[in-house]
């Protein structure tokens, strides 16, 4: 709390009282751990966040990465922060002991990362992508590929990226044109030469660690030299910045070069760039063309990449929530310490009395309560998703396929929510944090404006907001005969039943009403025959779904308080009340329009604008 | 339209078809004008905007004002833009012929300024404050003060500022501590020596024109040397940067000096700074102390300043709406020209077909429609308020005191809405403009991120968002036995009656339902005896009031279309439909909570956070 990053008291409550993560300790996978060890990991991340990541957050924003024609220079303190993270062993936190990991639950890893994200979200892009990259390779790479590319990342020697978008293909991956031509078989898998341009590559070029492992989507031409159309023609390749030497170190430069840095609104600690593959700047093995090693089957690239993308989407939600948390704590700190004005009414009209702190004004408490709802609600949603990853794995390892499937389905359906809801609402919270600061919040002397700018990216990258809506309504709620949606409804209904048996009957009823409407609306939308019309309001659907889901988070947290009536519990309860009274009712207007699938946007014509 | 600043077609429609501003030509004050002359003024501002203001908007953002220890350097192109504005005669656009003005309606001035605000809102701060400063002096200054300080501003020779806030007193003006001690009588009025610190002074120090006229709030100590408490002890002073010479030019430096520049998130073309008055850096007349001339009566300073402040609040709304308009046009342009993806369904699954432009996606049209609603609705609201200024003046000059009073009351009650609604919702529109641009929108290679940053100030300055709520609920709806609120309800009811007689019966009914609820909620809130409790939800009240008001704007614009069915009319109608279907229903949830004056924020305690 003193570092104003993440409230440890809240984190403790969410993990142990609400999510009950100690139950995970009963699984063989986590048997060597304890609550004390979980806390120690979170402690050590908190120190790293406060001592190394936070101090350079503003400096990294003001001095973004520069390219001098030869090298990309990252602020030295950012490079040090990334190296400190790499040295901590946290890159392999959730991996098996066998690959040098700590075999920690994902939910604990995410809880620990929250403080780092809050401290310097841009600097966290490097380790976050490295973790995801290595994790994809562990799942889909050959043993030789794991040895050569995943383990150096997990050991903190190399970093990783994901290269999906191209300048002409962002949301529409089926239109990528990066070409991969088969060259030969190799120890590291089928070897190709890649040529093409990739865009928005975070961590794409720098010299913070010894090498960069790019995971690249590309298409293999058919016999006529044509690229196969659509996403089914996409394959996945490992394209290292430098080719691995026989001894495992980074050797000859591959034909990957910087096309240009992107100059962003925020997230500036993270290099983000366009990369050219195979333009001939380097000639590995004596000729132009970026050497890449096929991962998995040809044409299965997107499926493999979704492994990383789904992790990244949870990570985006976590980052957005972390920024919501830290901005909230900064606003709260300011509101408690800044005297301004007096209360309305006769008592407040006496200007000889000292001014009251901002927090004494109901409107400021309103802004703080809303922020608390967004930040802690968003964090709770993401941590719940992380726990689902752990529970699915435990169940699968215990041979309980049914439970594993149910947990995986819940994760599937909640991923677009966990990605989009914190990005939207914690940004709204950051906006309120600026407002609480008044004119000072609009200056760069305070931190909240940077949180707001940084957080704005989260509704864009790793699948833009609208794409999440299409994923939810166009895929997730319908798949497997609505099995995931049914699991979701069952989850909420069980909490509603618990709520009805508690003092919070009214909140349980309020949630039940909206869940029933969401179920009705979902059935109606899925019955719309024309897919264009069916998905026309996918974004408002996503947003309504999100608010219902976070109402469930808040109901659950209120129930987890039991009869506690200390300050923390009262605050939590009041935030839950705020969500139920002021936030959840927002969905009614959206659900009304969704119920008859209002066609205002659909019917609008280009020429009419 | 080609300059992507403000749609001239929409402006034409709003002014002539909806607001019917040609009716103003019948008043003696405007008899020398014509629609052609109105359009010529708007044309010339549009050229100034496109040719001079817009080209340096991004440069001014990247190279903010610098202080070298001696001088504040403003980007030369910004200084040129301000001088070009000054040379255009527009500073006196609405003033009487007798003082060198053009005697234009305020509504035409605002319409003309919209393009300039859209082009470079930071650079517009200088002329906007100068116009307001001179206008205050014309209303409250002595003939000698007008001659010495207002006319040089209207002639474009000097600029002006308003100095209200202090580092410790922002929203709470009663706590200012700047002290003004009487020195002597002078030709320019009672002469005082001022000492104190002022904060957030836009245009506070620079050398763009020949002098700066500061209008400063300060307190005159009583016989014991104590400053009178509260706002009633506040007086208003003219404190020029350089004292006027006998020939009217700028002479000896006054004791006003720069304490520091503020480094802002946006609006960077405008110098914003802290000023020290009377710290002894200069010694006018041989001694320290900033020379100031009292305007009006002692203790009436705040009332005088509200003259400028109310104008400034409409100006803030105009700036916010203008940023909404230009960001919308940029997003629309991008959406029409950027191919990305294909439509859902079988047809869209053929990746051999070319990608469709973004605007072909219903979700993108949704984001564009919302932007159109916010931008054109906000602009309409502000233009309507400007027309009220004209109508009140005309009525008063024609001896029709009742009409004048009614128009002034409407202006009074609409001012907090015109200030806050565009600031809130056009910012939301700017956020959508970034989203339409995808990753590119997050880079500084596109303009939308700057619009978003610039616009963020508008909910803060000239009375923060929460202050507007307190002004509306705590003052405006109750004053004169609710006369202003009654006038407001009558205004909406007359449009509802017209709507019911049109094809838009359903929209008229929708508005009528919400107006009835707003009326009911207003009565309930005004009946709450405890002022702290009464005002606890003033902000949600402001926001509900705002949405109801803008629904009235859209209903009115839809009615003004009549039977037109060209592309423009269809687009306008579809935007109105969007507002009625998706926006207006938002207020129901807020009104529900307001109806029982929910006390969640009020009951929240500091210790619980």
* B145 and B166 belong to one structural domain: no
Name the DSSP letter for residue A235: E
The answer to whether the Cβ–Cβ distance between B265 and A442 falls below 8 Å is: yes
Q: Does A607 touch chain B (CB under 8 A)?
A: yes
B469 in reach of chain A (CB within 8 A): yes
Interface test mutation site (partner B, options A327, A348, A363, max chain B beta carbons within 10 A)? A363
- Letter string b/e over residues B575-597, b meaning 16 or more CB atoms within 10 A of that residue's CB: bbbbbbbbbbbbbbbbbbbbeeb
Judge: A571–B340 Cβ closer than 8 Å, yes or no: no
- Is the confidence metric ipTM above 0.90 for this complex? yes
Question: Which chain A residue is nearest to residue B169, measuring alpha carbons?
Answer: A340
Task: Tell me whether A529 touches chain B (CB under 8 Å).
Answer: no
Same domain flag for B96 and B166: no
As a whole number, the mean pLDDT across chain B is 97
Which residues between 562 and 591 in chain A have a beta carbon less than 8 angstroms from any beta carbon of chain B? 567-568, 570-571, 574, 577-578, 581-582, 585-586, 588-589
Angle between helices B121-140 and B106-119 in degrees, nearest 10: 150
Helices B401-437/B479-500 angle, 10° precision: 70
> Is B283 a member of any domain?
yes
Assess whether A86 and A219 both reside in one domain. no
Contact across the interface for B574 and A604, Cβ inside 8 Å: yes
Query: Within a domain: residue A490?
Result: yes
**Which residue in B231, B442, B566 has the most chain A C-beta atoms within 10 A of its own C-beta, making it the best mutation to test that interface?**
B442
How far does the CA of residue A431 sit from the closest CA of chain B (Å)?
A: 9
The answer, yes or no, to whether residue A44 has pLDDT greater than 50, is: yes
Distance of CA A390 to the CA centre of its chain: 17
pLDDT at residue B565 above 90? yes
- Among A136, A224, A216, smallest CA distance to A176 is for A216
Using CA atoms in the order B237, B239, B245, B250, what is the torsion angle rounded to 10 degrees?
Answer: -140
Q: Please answer whether residues B453 and B410 qualify as being in contact, where contact means their C-beta atoms are separated by less than 8 angstroms.
A: no
Report how far residue B473's alpha carbon sits from residue B468's, in angstroms, rounded to the nearest whole number: 9
Give the separation between CA B47 and CA B54, rounded to whole angstroms. Answer: 10
Residue A388 lies in a domain: no
Residues 252-271 of B with CB under 8 A from A: 262-266
- Whether B164 and B237 share a structural domain: yes
Who contacts B400 (Cβ-Cβ below 8 Å, separation ≥6)? none
Nearest CB among A474, A537, A574 relative to B604 is that of: A574
H-run or E-run covering B200: strand B189-202
| Cβ(A368)–Cβ(A328) below 8 Å | yes
Model confidence at A537: pLDDT above 60: yes
Cα of A363 to nearest chain B Cα, Å: 6
Whether residue B242 lies inside any domain: the answer is: yes
Same domain, B74 and B132: yes
Instruction: Pick from A442, A454, A460 the residue to mutate for testing the B interface (most B CBs within 10 Å).
Output: A442
Provide the β-strand partners of residue B190: B185
Are both A79 and A121 inside the same structural domain?
yes
- The tens digit of pLDDT for each residue in B320-357 reads 999 999 999 999 999 999 999 999 888 777 888 899 99
**Are residues B178 and B198 in contact, defined by beta-carbon separation less than 8 angstroms?**
yes
Q: Which of A434, A601, A609 sits opposite B456 (nearest CB)?
A: A434
List the domain range (segments joined by +) for residue A600: 465-604
Is B539 in Cβ contact with A363 (below 8 Å)?
A: yes
* Cα–Cα distance for residue pair A329/A115, rounded to 1 Å: 12
CATH code, B178: 2.40.110.20
Q: Which of B257, B276, B299 is the last residue of a domain?
A: B299
Paired tokens of B297: 């009566």
On whether residue A499 sits in a domain, the answer given is yes
Q: Which of B262, B263, B532 sits opposite A343 (nearest CB)?
A: B532
A288-337 pLDDT, tens per residue?
Answer: 999 999 999 999 999 999 888 898 999 999 999 999 999 999 999 999 99
Regarding whether A170 and A52 lie in a shared domain, the answer is no
Q: Are B530 and B594 contained in the same domain? A: yes
Give phi and psi for B7, each to the nearest 5. Answer: -70, 115
Domain contains A457: no
What span, in angstroms and rounded, lies between the C-alpha atoms of A275 and A313?
23
Residues 175-194 in B contacting A (C-alpha not used; CB under 8 Å)? 175
Last residue of one domain, picked from the residues A257, A280, A298: A298
Nearest CA among A340, A479, A469 for reference residue A415? A469
In-domain check, residue B606: no
What is the pLDDT, as a whole number, of residue B1? 41
Distance CA B114, CA B119 (A): 9
CATH code at position A56: 1.10.540.10
The residue out of A237, A270, A298 marking a domain boundary is: A298
* Distance to chain A for B602, nearest Cα, Å: 5
Compare CB distances from B435 to A336, A452, A464 and report the shortest one's residue. Answer: A464
Q: Identify whether the C-beta of residue B470 lies closer than 8 Å to the C-beta of residue A344.
A: yes
| Lowest model confidence (mean pLDDT) among A87-96, A210-219, A306-315, A369-378 | A306-315
Both tokens of residue B440?
């590119």
What would the 3-class secondary structure string for B149-177 be?
HHHHHHCCCCEEEEECCECCECCCHHHCC
With respect to residue A276, please indicate whether it lies within any of the assigned structural domains. yes
Residue showing tokens 């002692």: B298
Which residue, among A558, A495, A421, has the nearest Cα to A14 in the 3D structure?
A558
Give the best residue of A463, A604, A605 to mutate against chain B (max B CB count within 10 A): A604
Size of interface A-B (CB pairs under 8 A): 281
Whether the CB-CB separation of A90 and A45 falls below 8 Å is answered with: yes
CA atoms within 13 A on the CB side of A166: 22
Give pLDDT, residue A521: 98
Which of B362, B532, B604 has its CB closest to that of A369? Answer: B604
- Residue A350's pLDDT is 82
For residues B123 and B167, membership in a common domain is answered with: no
Residues 6+ apart with CB under 8 A from B449: A265, A456, B434, B441, B442, B443
Instruction: Establish if A358 touches chain B: CB-CB under 8 angstroms.
Output: no
Domain count for chain A: 3
Q: Are residues B195 and B288 in the same domain?
A: yes
Contacts of B362 (CB under 8 A, 6+ apart): A532, A535, A536, A537, A601, A602
B533 & B486 share domain: yes
Kindly report the nearest CA distance between residue A376 and chain B, in angstroms: 12
The mean per-residue pLDDT over the stretch B251-257 comes to: 97
Q: What tens digit of pLDDT does each residue of A384-412 get?
A: 999 999 999 999 999 999 999 999 999 99
A186 and A120 co-located in one domain: no
For A265-276, the pLDDT digits (tens) are 999 999 999 999
Which among A376, A374, A331 has a CA at the least distance from the CA of A6? A376
């Amino acid at each position: 709390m003193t570092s104003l990053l993440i409230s440890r008291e809240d984190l403790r409550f969410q993990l142990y009282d609400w999510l009950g993560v100690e139950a995970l300790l009963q699984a063989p996978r986590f048997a060597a751990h304890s609550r004390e060890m979980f806390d120690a990991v979170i402690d050590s991340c908190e120190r790293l966040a406060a001592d190394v990541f936070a101090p350079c957050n503003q400096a990294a924003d003001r001095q973004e990465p520069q390219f001098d024609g030869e090298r990309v220079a990252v602020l030295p303190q950012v490079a040090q922060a990334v190296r400190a993270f790499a040295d901590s062993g946290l890159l392999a936190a959730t991996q098996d002991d066998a690959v040098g990991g700590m075999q920690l639950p994902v939910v604990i890893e995410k809880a620990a990362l929250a403080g780092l994200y809050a401290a310097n979200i841009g600097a966290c892009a490097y380790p976050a992508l490295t973790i995801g990259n290595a994790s994809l390779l562990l799942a889909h790479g050959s043993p030789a590929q794991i040895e050569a590319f995943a383990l150096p990342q997990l050991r903190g020697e190399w970093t990783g990226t994901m290269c999906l978008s191209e300048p002409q293909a962002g949301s529409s991956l089926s239109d990528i044109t990066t070409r991969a031509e088969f060259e030969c078989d190799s120890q590291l898998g089928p070897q190709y030469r890649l040529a093409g341009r990739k865009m928005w590559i975070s961590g794409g070029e720098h010299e913070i660690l010894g090498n960069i492992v790019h995971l690249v989507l590309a298409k293999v031409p058919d016999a006529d030299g044509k690229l196969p159309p659509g996403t089914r023609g996409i394959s996945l390749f490992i394209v290292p910045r430098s080719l691995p030497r026989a001894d495992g170190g980074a050797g000859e430069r591959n034909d990957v070069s910087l096309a240009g840095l992107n100059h962003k609104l925020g997230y500036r600690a993270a290099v983000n760039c366009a990369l050219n593959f195979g333009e001939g700047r380097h000639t590995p093995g004596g000729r132009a063309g970026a050497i890449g090693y096929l991962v998995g089957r040809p044409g299965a690239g997107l499926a493999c990449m979704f492994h990383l993308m789904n992790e990244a989407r949870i990570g985006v939600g976590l980052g957005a929530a972390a920024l919501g948390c830290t901005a909230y704590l900064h606003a709260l700190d300011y509101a408690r310490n800044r005297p301004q004005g007096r209360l309305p009414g006769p008592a407040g009209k006496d200007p000889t009395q000292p001014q009251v702190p901002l927090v004494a004004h109901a409107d400021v408490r309103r802004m703080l309560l809303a922020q608390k709802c967004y930040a802690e609600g968003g964090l709770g949603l993401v941590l719940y998703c992380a726990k689902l990853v752990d529970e699915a794995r435990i169940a699968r390892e215990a041979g309980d396929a049914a439970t594993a499937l149910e947990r995986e389905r819940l994760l599937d359906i909640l991923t677009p929510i966990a990605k989009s809801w914190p990005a939207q609402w914690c940004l709204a919270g950051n906006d309120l944090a600026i407002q609480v600061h008044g004119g000072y919040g609009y200056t760069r002397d305070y931190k909240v404006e940077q949180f707001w700018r940084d957080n704005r990216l989260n509704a864009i990258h790793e699948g833009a907001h609208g794409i999440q809506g299409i994923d939810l309504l166009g895929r997730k709620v319908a798949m497997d005969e609505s099995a995931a949606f049914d699991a979701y409804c069952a989850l909420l209904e069980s909490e509603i039943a618990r709520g009805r048996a508690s003092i919070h009957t009214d909140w349980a009823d309020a949630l039940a009403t909206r869940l029933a409407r969401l179920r009705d609306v979902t059935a109606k939308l899925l019955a719309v025959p024309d897919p264009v019309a069916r998905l026309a309001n996918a974004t408002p659907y996503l947003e309504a779904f999100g608010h219902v889901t976070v109402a469930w988070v808040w109901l659950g947290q209120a129930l987890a308080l039991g009869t506690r009536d200390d300050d923390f519990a009262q605050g939590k309860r009041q935030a839950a009340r705020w969500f139920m009274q002021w936030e959840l009712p927002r969905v009614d207007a959206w659900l009304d329009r969704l119920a008859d699938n209002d066609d205002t946007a659909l019917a609008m014509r280009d020429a009419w604008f």
